[in-house]
Structure 1
Amino acid sequence: MSVSGVLYTAFRDLILPPASLLVLFALGFLIRKKFPRLSQILCVGSVSILFAISTDLGACLLGNPLENLEPPLRSAQGTGAQAIVVLTAGRVVDAPEYGGKDIPDYIGLARMRYTARLHRESSLPVLVTGGFGEQYGNDDSLAEIMASALEQDFSTPVRWKETDSVNTAQNAELSAKILLPAGVSRVLLITDAMHMHRAKLAFQQQGLQVVAAPTMFLNEYDLRWSCLVPTMGSLRRSYYAIYEWMGLILYKLSKAPQANAKIT
């Protein structure tokens, strides 16, 4: 990964929980003698927040409003869409069971499965968007990795691959440059439910009509005692939700998000 990529990733992870909360706790501990009251607030507050977002209840309270911004797509039929656009996610590097090739991560896998389903329903051509090839020291972009998996493992042909984008805004900008000249102005857009609203705004900003096709609704819950038990899965979902809230706020504040926002 490039130096800029490493610095951005480090900064992003530092300002998001749990790292940011651990920093606040450490700061509170260091000032405990000079500022005991402030120290208590920082230490107790950071631990309390970390506990809350590590529970299923906390994760759902953060993620459910994001998922409710775009309802699930009931059918690919009758939408008027001319193509399917799927956003890549991450990668598993040097997967041994695939002969040492990079493969899509579990987030990308869920998006690919839904892409295959909607393609079977509609027979619409597919565009895959996502770069990051050079940052991993190889020539395989996320789009190329996902396209290969779609074609080989899901029997879903990919017509277009956008291989240069590094964030959601660029996914939209560079995909539009491929689709609009090809006569495609209305698309089915596939990404995670928590990410969908921000992605939809970005693609609409580029002049595309978007039919939201969210997948991976993770934040439905029943109120029971287990909702208050901290788990790594809940903390991971809270991290994702906070990440998306920050990205959405940056988008709303920026008149040119594709130039300014770096949340992917």
Structure 2
Amino acid sequence: MPLDLATLLFWLKKSAAVLALPPLMPLLPIVAGLMLIGRRPRLGKTLAWAGVALNLLLITPASVSWLVAQVEYPHALETRAAARAEAIVVLGAGRRRHAPEFGGETINRLALERLRYAARLARETGLPLLVTGGAPVGDVPEAVLMQRSLQDDFGVKARWLETASRDTRENARFSAVQLDAAGVRTILLVTHAMHMDRARDEFSATGLEVIPAPTAWLGSGDGSPTDEQGLQLPSQNTAYAAWFALHELLGQLAYRLSR
């Protein structure tokens, strides 16, 4: 894979995200505090306990629910709004590399959630589908894996494949080229509710009219703790919701700074 400037910046962005997001991010002040505790005990203890407190906040349902509410798109698609659309665009969300039961690799569970809703919308509206997602590491483009899943699992065909993009901004820019060539100006945009604000802004910036069609909410919509089992206890579900919310907040900030 050629290492051009765009590719280098892409991987630098990914590396920075690892440091800025859980589970590593809360560990950094803990490690720094422990390293300082011999020379500057008060500062070291403060940093270490701050890291512990931050970690607890990022797994506790009440605090995570508040964080999710700051990011997650609140409204489901309205039927009347959908009537104006000319196509459905569904964004990729990643791949599962080891999937021997599917003959190699396939889409991950996040992409599957998006495809499930996009397939339902396609059947209900009769609108053509565009799937978007490239191959940052040089293997099969994600859009190809999405096309296969739509056909094999849901019996729906994608009309357009956008296979070059590496992130949400490129999803929007490269998809807009194909849609413009087809005369499409208004789209139903399918992605996670947590990702919708950033995705909508990027697609709108291309000149498309975007009708949000979010799916897979991680919050409950009423401010109650985020947990699929309804438990008000820390769990892997709350930890994941916190990661996703922080990921989107950082993504929104990075995109605003780079405009």
1:91 equivalent to 2:82? Answer no
- Could you say which residue in structure 1 is the equivalent of 2:131? 128
1:152 to partner: Cα distance: 1.3
Map 1:243-254; keep pairs closer than 5 Å. 243-254=247-258
- What is the alpha-carbon distance in structure 1 between the residues aligned to residue 2 and residue 237 of structure 2? 29
1:11 to partner: Cα distance: 2.9
- Could you say which residue in structure 1 is the equivalent of 2:182? 182
- Could you say which residue in structure 1 is the equivalent of 2:57? 52
- Could you say which residue in structure 1 is the equivalent of 2:154? 154
Structure 2 residue runs of 5 or longer lacking an equivalent are none
- What is the alpha-carbon distance in structure 1 between the residues aligned to residue 132 and residue 184 of structure 2? 15
- What is the alpha-carbon distance in structure 2 between the residues aligned to residue 167 and residue 49 of structure 1? 28
Do 1:189 and 1:214's aligned partners in 2 also have CA atoms closer than 8 Å?
Answer: yes
- What is the alpha-carbon distance in structure 2 between the residues aligned to residue 55 and residue 104 of structure 1? 30
Go from structure 1 to structure 2 and tell me whether the alpha carbon gap of 1:52 and 1:77 turns closer, same or farther (over 3 Å shift). closer
Map 1:66-105; keep pairs closer than 5 Å. 66-67=71-72, 69-75=73-79, 78-99=82-103, 101-105=104-108
- What is the alpha-carbon distance in structure 2 between the residues aligned to residue 92 and residue 6 of structure 1? 19
Do 1:162 and 1:174's aligned partners in 2 also have CA atoms closer than 8 Å?
Answer: yes
Which stretch of the first structure deviates more once superposed, 47-56 or 10-19? 10-19
- Could you say which residue in structure 1 is the equivalent of 2:207? 207
What is the letter of the counterpart of residue 123 of structure 2?
Answer: R
Go from structure 1 to structure 2 and tell me whether the alpha carbon gap of 1:231 and 1:78 turns closer, same or farther (over 3 Å shift). closer
Aligned length in residues: 249
Go from structure 1 to structure 2 and tell me whether the alpha carbon gap of 1:249 and 1:120 turns closer, same or farther (over 3 Å shift). same
What is the letter of the counterpart of residue 54 of structure 2?
Answer: I
Structure 1 residue runs of 5 or longer lacking an equivalent are 257-264
What is the letter of the counterpart of residue 38 of structure 2?
Answer: K
1:23 to partner: Cα distance: 1.6
- Could you say which residue in structure 2 is the equivalent of 1:260? none
TM-score (norm 1): 0.88
Go from structure 1 to structure 2 and tell me whether the alpha carbon gap of 1:245 and 1:39 turns closer, same or farther (over 3 Å shift). same
Do 2:82 and 2:211's aligned partners in 1 also have CA atoms closer than 8 Å?
Answer: no
- What is the alpha-carbon distance in structure 2 between the residues aligned to residue 206 and residue 180 of structure 1? 10
- Could you say which residue in structure 2 is the equivalent of 1:164? 164
Do 1:59 and 1:238's aligned partners in 2 also have CA atoms closer than 8 Å?
Answer: yes
Query: Equivalent residue of 1:194, what SS?
Result: coil
1:106 equivalent to 2:109? Answer yes
- Could you say which residue in structure 1 is the equivalent of 2:122? 119
The alignment's C-alpha RMSD in Å is: 2.1
What is the letter of the counterpart of residue 182 of structure 1?
Answer: A
Do 2:91 and 2:132's aligned partners in 1 also have CA atoms closer than 8 Å?
Answer: yes
1:81 to partner: Cα distance: 0.4
TM-score (norm 2): 0.89
Percent pairwise identity: 36
Query: Equivalent residue of 1:86, what SS?
Result: strand
Q: Deviations over 1:110-158 (max 9, x none)?
A: 10110011001100000000101x60x53x1010001110011101110
Query: Equivalent residue of 1:187, what SS?
Result: strand
Do 2:61 and 2:225's aligned partners in 1 also have CA atoms closer than 8 Å?
Answer: no
